[in-house]
Amino acid sequence: MVVTLPIVSTASESDYPRILDYPWDHSPITVYIDDKNVPPHYSPAYSAQVHKALDYWEAGGNGKLKYIPVFKLVDSENADIRIRWVESLQEDQGAPEGVAGAAIPYIADERFVRVDIILGVGSYQWMRWVPYSDSAMLAISKHELGHALGLDHSTDRQDIMYPSNEQINNTHPLFAGKYGSFLLIAAYAALATIVFLSVSWLLNRRKRKKIQD
């Protein structure tokens, strides 16, 4: 039997893919950036990129949010959004090749309770360690924060929420880490969107071309 699925026509602004339209029931949204427990290849410039990414969204970001977020940095893990780095999502988290960052929302009653953002610091390319550039870190941070603000992946290649490589649907909990029990993730695994912002457009272009060829 052949089943024909309807083709979704051009999405209007309000149809922009979102995890939730209004994920946070309060403002400001507190953010904890863990720049103390960092992996060996962490660059001190990376946390500055996260700050820039926060500024980007406070200034309207990609224009697809239905609200203007206000962030408040806190020095406590008891924050709405918790951001940390790992050496490699492949090694530390068992994520597939090319995954540079992950945003893991915990949802209750149609709201985010918390979002954990995990960022890599580089990857192996042809057996050589290549650290992410500051601009790649900025792009990854913007993208993951976009998820933490409720946005899903865009099909527009120019959009920061476009997964620069294939997106996979996380069908099982990938992560077990320092933030304790991740059992909740199982329930929301489908929402644990993973970015394939391999390195950045620049660093990845050659490789992608090869694959397409």
Angle formed at CA 137 by CA 161 and CA 112, multiple of 5 degrees: 50
Q: Which stretch binds Zn ion (CB under 5 A): 109-117, 179-187, 193-201, 204-212?
A: 193-201
Q: Is 193 in the site for Zn ion (CB under 5 A)?
A: yes
> Coil, strand or helix: which one is 36?
coil
Quickly count: other Cβ atoms within 10 Å of residue 150's Cβ.
22
Residue whose Cβ sits closest to Zn ion: 195
Q: Which stretch binds Zn ion (CB under 5 A): 33-41, 89-97, 113-121, 187-195?
A: 187-195
Q: Toward Zn ion, which CB reaches closer, 43 or 167?
A: 167
The residue behind tokens 């992560």 is: 175
> Coil, strand or helix: which one is 205?
helix
Q: Toward Zn ion, which CB reaches closer, 82 or 147?
A: 147
Quickly count: other Cβ atoms within 10 Å of residue 77's Cβ.
13
Q: What are the structure tokens assigned to 114, written together?
A: 């918390």
Q: Toward Zn ion, which CB reaches closer, 54 or 100?
A: 100
Considering only 81, 95, 119, 195, the residue that binds Zn ion (CB under 5 A) is: 195
Q: Toward Zn ion, which CB reaches closer, 28 or 96?
A: 96
The residue behind tokens 């290649």 is: 157
Which residues form the interface with Zn ion (CB under 5 A)? Answer: 193, 195
